[in-house]
Structure 1
Amino acid sequence: MKPVLLEANQPERFYRGGAAIAELRGAVNAAEWGPEDWVASTTTLFGQHTAGLAALPGGELLRSAIEAAPEAWLGAEHVAEFGANPALLVKLLDAGQRLPVHCHPSDSFAASHLDCRFGKTEAWVVVGTTGADPVVYVGFREGVDEATVAAWVASQDTSTMLHALNEVPVKAGDTVFVPAGLPHAIGAGVFIVELQQPTDFSVLLEWTGFAEEGDSSVHLGLGFEAALGCVDRSGWAAKRLDGLVRHTADQRGPSVDLLGEQSLEFFRADRVHTESPVEFDPGFAVLVALEGSGGLSTQTGGSLELVRGNTVVLPHAAGSCRVDGDLVLVRCRPPIVGGSTS
């Protein structure tokens, strides 16, 4: 088992973007509707059979390879907890336009309404911005009652919905943890590495201009009366909101924890700086090279030369590994088994 260098995997989406992904990867052209690169994905788009799945060199789907040898890819402890599912989806997301106001269901909502163990808590690692005022929108500033949210959605009162959310300026190095249920939107010009639970469950509170009228996928086929039950309508004033946002741009060192303890039961993310060699313990991981060049070598003998824009999937059975050179990487990992460090 060796680390694998992955090609871009950009399924067509409902909003524009992709120029920042093309620039990072050194691609010549950016697809107008390619704003997301689903890195090492074993997850499909909602309602699709294969769209979104990542392929290994040679064409085999990563999902099929993991299902054939789950412990080699993921490790025995992970498989005992999550089966042959990495329990992680990583994306590069380049918002060429503001995304719609939307939210994602929790684990409990997904289990009861969608017959799925996973909801969709996510986190954003901001790696670049363009424009004069890059922002994201996160959580209602004040609590909102059920009838009000339903009325906003029914009338598609976009300006009121957007105004009700916290507008948060962002820059490269910032991270935002987005619990399931929290209404949110990503502003135009924000480029992120996104970690999330392995589903494509989204409830679009704002769908005008993003989906066809009558498209049932905007409410996950549940109808809005049921789907809006997953919305966190509580207020997120400044002090509470501060717990979701981190500013890490000036933090260096071999490995910078980007998300903290609140993310451990969902996923983990570190920014790795290789001014001196950095070693990792065995474990499934997805690596995104943001800057520089260097090398990755593993206990089993697998090695790769890495440059800015490379994305890599690292199997558990590759053993411990070492990264050196002059690289800046984001290392994305599945949740801690058991949901905590204890």
Structure 2
Amino acid sequence: MSGRKFSVIPFEANRVWRSYLGGKLLDTLEGVKEAADGSFPEDWIGSVTAANNPDNRSPEEGLSRVRLESGESVLLADLISEDPEFYLGKSHVDRFGTDMRILVKYLDSAIRLHFQVHPRAEFSERHLGVSKGKTEAYVILSVRDDVKEPYIYAGFQRPPSREELKRWIEVQDIAAIEASFDKIPVKVGDVFLIPGGCPHALGEGILMVELMEASDLVVRFEYERGGFTLPEESRYMGKDLDFGLSVFDLEAKPASAFRCEPRELRRFDDGSTQRLLIGTDRTNCFVARSTCIEKSITKSENGFYIVLVTKGSGILRVGELTLALEPFSRALVAAGAGEVRIETEDGLELLELAGPRF
């Protein structure tokens, strides 16, 4: 790349420290010779959101950088600030400024994650002075071979009272907490939406794309996983247990409430199809689409989006710019990019993850 205004911005790996184990599959994708699970199980994509990690971590951890042809590495956030309307679109900037409002990750779990819950936007604004919560979505990409019954928890299906939940958390009665959920089976291609306020935990051995509101706000009410014990300040967003309890939605939720059923948006002349995975009928926080390309398509979208390759290979063209696409390639397509042409010889499947629609 040259200059400072790009219709398409590819991203390199941007691994982020987390308090659970995973990342072996991400290592493999990056060509690491001795791939292993560790403390970097997530890859944050097109991120202008800093990770809420311990003080000994870099304050820039989580923020995506862009490599220019000159070799210079610049923060994506700085690049966007140079021409926000081109990158994000005028209507988005009028409402949100340079805040993309979404955070996209590859997440590779080796163990079940902590039981946790995220605030709704209304709660965050009222109690934390932040204009967004953390509603999130999952697209399941693969399951490790040794995991025979992959699952997530999302609920509660059998909610405790506030007093019961407080007691369970105080004594860390994880068996009682776990018994309040049903295991929700997952398979490759499944899509889930977890609204803010709903407690949840991702099961072991799952590689997925996670799309969420652009925050790292979380109440972790299980203190130890994988040999790591959370410090007190990392459990309730720097507050106390009573504050953390106020984040929970304690109404019973059927497991079916979290599944999303994709529907066809459009069909192209070559037989390619675009499907809506998550739309404004489910949330106003973000939009998720998938496009299955048979040979070649030309299309434009309303606003910016992050594109991820889930299967196959091909070429993306915008004007004179050409970007090779391989499995797990990732890039930002600017709102001002105009028409995008995508070509493939043997088939190509993409996720397209966009900000809020209003």
Tell me if TM exceeds 0.5.
yes
Among 329, 350, 356, the residue aligned to 1:329: 350
Residue of structure 1 equivalent to 2:203: 187
Shift of 1:246: 3.3
Distance 1:50 1:332 in 2: 23
Give the secondary-structure state (helix, strand or coil) at the position aligned to 2:324.
strand
Show the 5 A alignment for 1:23-34: 23-28=28-33, 29-30=35-36, 32-34=38-40
Task: Go from structure 1 to structure 2 and tell me whether the alpha carbon gap of 1:61 and 1:146 turns closer, same or farther (over 3 Å shift).
Answer: same
Residue of structure 1 equivalent to 2:50: 44
Residue of structure 1 equivalent to 2:3: none
Instruction: Kindly indicate whether residue 25 of structure 2 is the aligned counterpart of residue 11 of structure 1.
Output: no
Distance 2:256 2:37 in 1: 35
Task: Go from structure 1 to structure 2 and tell me whether the alpha carbon gap of 1:7 and 1:171 turns closer, same or farther (over 3 Å shift).
Answer: same
Amino acid paired to 1:14: S
Distance 2:246 2:178 in 1: 19
Residue of structure 1 equivalent to 2:117: 103
Amino acid paired to 1:79: V
Give the secondary-structure state (helix, strand or coil) at the position aligned to 1:243.
helix
Identify which of structures 1 and 2 has the higher relative contact order when contacts are C-alpha pairs closer than 8 Å and 6+ apart. Answer: 1
TM-score by length of 1: 0.91
Instruction: Kindly indicate whether residue 12 of structure 2 is the aligned counterpart of residue 2 of structure 1.
Output: no
Instruction: Kindly indicate whether residue 196 of structure 2 is the aligned counterpart of residue 162 of structure 1.
Output: no
Amino acid paired to 1:51: E
Please tell me whether the aligned partners of residues 23 and 37 of structure 2 are also in contact (alpha carbons under 8 angstroms): yes
Shift of 1:315: 1.3
Shift of 1:2: 2.4
Residue of structure 1 equivalent to 2:150: 134
Distance 1:24 1:280 in 2: 29
Instruction: Kindly indicate whether residue 239 of structure 2 is the aligned counterpart of residue 216 of structure 1.
Output: no
Residue of structure 2 equivalent to 1:301: 320
> For 1:253-278, what per-residue CA distance to the aligned partner results, in whole angstroms no more than 9, with x for missing partners?
52121124344411111121111323
Instruction: Kindly indicate whether residue 64 of structure 2 is the aligned counterpart of residue 54 of structure 1.
Output: yes
Distance 2:264 2:301 in 1: 26
Give the secondary-structure state (helix, strand or coil) at the position aligned to 1:60.
strand
Give the secondary-structure state (helix, strand or coil) at the position aligned to 2:225.
coil
Gaps of 5+ in 2: 1-5, 266-270
Among 161, 165, 174, the residue aligned to 1:145: 161
Give the secondary-structure state (helix, strand or coil) at the position aligned to 2:66.
coil
Distance 2:222 2:93 in 1: 37
Q: Tell me the C-alpha RMSD between the 2 structures.
A: 2.1
Shift of 1:45: 1.1
Instruction: Kindly indicate whether residue 303 of structure 2 is the aligned counterpart of residue 287 of structure 1.
Output: no
Residue range with higher mean Cα deviation, 27-36 or 309-318: 27-36
Amino acid paired to 1:328: E
Give the secondary-structure state (helix, strand or coil) at the position aligned to 2:197.
coil
Residue range with higher mean Cα deviation, 177-186 or 68-77: 68-77
Task: Go from structure 1 to structure 2 and tell me whether the alpha carbon gap of 1:69 and 1:249 turns closer, same or farther (over 3 Å shift).
Answer: closer
Show the 5 A alignment for 1:213-292: 214-237=231-254, 241-246=255-260, 253-278=272-297, 279-292=299-312
Gaps of 5+ in 1: none
